[in-house]
Amino acid sequence: MRKSLKVVTIGGGSSYTPELIEGFIKRYEEFPLTDLWLVDIEAGKEKLEIVGAMAQRMVKAAGIDCTVHLTLDRREALKNADFVTTQLRAGQLSARVLDERIPLSHGMIGQETNGAGGIFNALRTVPVILDIVEDMKELCPDAWLINFANPAGMVTEAVLRYGNWPKVVGLCNIPVNAVVNEAELLGEAPEKLFFQFAGINHMHWHTVMDSKGVDRTDELIKLMYGTGTNTEIVANIKDNNLIFEQVENLHMVPCPYHNYYYHTDKMLAEELADFEVNGTRAEKVKQIEAELFALYKDPQLDYKPKQLAERGGARYSEAACETITSIYNDKRTTMTVSTRNNGTVKDLPDDCAVEVTCTLTGNGPVPYNFGSFKPQERGLLQLMKAMEQLTIEAAVTGDRGTLLQALTINPLVTSGDVAKQVMEEMLEAHKEFLPAFFK
């Protein structure tokens, strides 16, 4: 009798789900999935039914022996799971609109993982993920949690620190995209290069070495930032042209999200101008999602449509499915993930979550040692990690003072009375999802 292999995807009604299905189909020979459970909440029921039916068509068209289950009952789905993936957004896209709109209305960056918006995304998401972990302890104590929910680094650290669940991997598609795009710039196949990333989610830097041991980082920096060529990697960052002299001095390639910190004035001006004319990025994503789900309803559609690329999250399935397959097979794939630091980055606490290059083994991620950053990177990194830890503590305790401290030290938030006003506005706007702050 064929051995059962079960994956549970929480947030299964997401528009990204076809990416995940495509990834599992592609890897079926090495990861013979028997049962995929797509789970959502009542508010996401319609989307779950639409994308779930499409997932069933994709599996049928691929001719693989896998059953796709749809349910609103998370506990039913979790029983005896081998892997659990989370791709949820607490409050759905309407909450993201507020995360972006309220800070922008106060003249600050409005973004789903950075600034005040990123903090409030974490406040809503962390308690939900910790509830899932408690269910996993009871119903699937041997399962791995593979998290893609933003902000991925803070969620991973919350699971490690407050959930006491070591079998967790946090994922982001930014490093995956960087490897592919930057290898092309260097005229090399990705497998011929070694990219070493270190830092935290959306706040990391990396170097590149070729198969002969030659450091190609400075060459890459010149190609990316010394020629005036736009190296767009993220849909919400239109122009990744950082100041060449600054990046050259780093001798490391920054994450595209560093634009929010290295070019705050430019990013804010662009966001405010776009906000006045087109609204928030979240509102654009809502429109894209509506168009995607109209496509997904087509009973003849049994493959991932190309329009999904416009949603963002490119190569999501590469990150998620390759991580799962590598752990399952002890495949030892090299990937960049969020995991416990354990001395990998000496500038950060051993017990915190870092986003670093790892070998993915049957026992989980084994990081490549990085060492220490130079002052250029270290100061910002340590500040952002402190902000993350305060945010996670506030999410767990509901303490407003701790939350105000997180907002105050965030470089993208105006401190003082403005920070307090934004905090109160956003708490009230998200009150339904933040009961800990209203006891």
321 in a known ligand binding site? no
pLDDT at 283 over 70: yes
Of all residues in the chain, what percent carry a pLDDT higher than 90?
87
Extract the tokens encoding 252: 């490391």
In angstroms, the CA 37 to CA 88 distance is 14
- Which pLDDT does position 31 carry in this prediction? 97
- What b/e readout covers 281-301, taking b as 16+ CB neighbours within 10 angstroms? bbbbbbebbeebbeebeeeeb
For residue 117, pLDDT over 70 is answered with: yes
CB-CB contact of 25 with 62 (8 Å): yes
Summarize the confidence of residues 349-378 as an average pLDDT.
98
If one counts every other C-beta atom within 10 angstroms of the C-beta of residue 439, the result is 5
- Asked if the model's pLDDT at residue 419 lies above 70, the reply is yes
* Burial environment of residue 280 by CB neighbours within 10 A (0 to 12, 13 to 18, 19 or more): buried
- Rounded CA-CA distance 340/171 in Å is 13
CA 190 to chain centre: 22
**Other CB atoms within 10 A of residue 263 CB:** 19
| Number of residues that this document lists for the chain | 439
User: What does the pLDDT average to over 139-145?
Assistant: 98
Mean per-residue pLDDT, 369-388: 98
> Is residue 234 pLDDT above 70, yes or no?
no
**Least confident residue range of 7-21, 34-48, 187-201, 295-309:** 295-309
Structural element, H or E, at residue 359: strand 353-361
At 40-61, the pLDDT tens digits run 999 999 999 999 999 999 999 9
Q: What are 338's two structure tokens?
A: 């969020």
DSSP 400-432: HHHHHHHHHH-TTS--THHHHHHHHHHHHHTGG
150 assigned binding-site residue: yes
225 is catalytic: no
The pLDDT confidence band at residue 27, using thresholds 50, 70 and 90, is very high
Catalytic residue among 16, 162, 257, 260: 257
Rounded CA separation 6/225 (Å): 45
Task: Give me the pLDDT at residue 307, please.
Answer: 79
* Bridge partners for 215 per DSSP: 209
- Whether 223 contacts 240, CB under 8 Å: no
Give the containing element (helix H, strand E) for 52. helix 45-62
How far apart, in whole angstroms, are the C-alpha atoms of residue 184 and residue 65? 36
Residue 120's pLDDT is 98
Which helix (H) or strand (E) covers residue 121, if one does?
A: helix 115-139
Confidence at residue 2, expressed as pLDDT on a 0 to 100 scale: 65
pLDDT band at 327 (very low <50, low <70, confident <90, very high): very high
pLDDT over 80 (residue 207): yes
Query: For the segment 75-100, what is each residue's pLDDT rounded down to a tens digit?
Result: 999 999 999 999 999 999 999 999 99
Q: What is the pLDDT of residues 174-192, one digit of tens each?
A: 999 999 999 999 999 999 9
Share of the chain above pLDDT 70, in %: 95
- Residue 235 pLDDT > 80: no
* Across 321-348, average pLDDT: 97
Res 96: pLDDT: 95
pLDDT of residue 233: 59
The answer on whether 172 is annotated among ligand-binding residues is yes
Contact 85, 9 (CB under 8 A): yes
Strands in 143-258 per DSSP E: 144-147, 168-170, 193-200, 203-210, 253-254
What CA–CA distance (Å, rounded) separates 55 from 57?
5
- DSSP string for 271-337: HHHHHHHH--HHHHHHHHHHHHHHHHT-TT--S--GGGGGGS-TTHHHHHHHHHHHHHHT--EEEEE
Q: What is the pLDDT of residue 236?
A: 67
- Residue 312: per-residue pLDDT: 63
Single out the residue of 110, 92, 94, 93 nearest to residue 276, CA to CA.
Answer: 110
pLDDT in tens, 388-417: 999 999 999 999 999 999 999 999 999 899
Q: Is the peptide bond before 256 cis (omega within 30 degrees of 0)?
A: no
- Residues 252-262: what's their mean pLDDT? 95
202 carries a ligand binding annotation: yes
Alpha helices in 330-398, H assignment, sequence order? 375-397
Alpha helices in 187-225 (DSSP H): 217-225
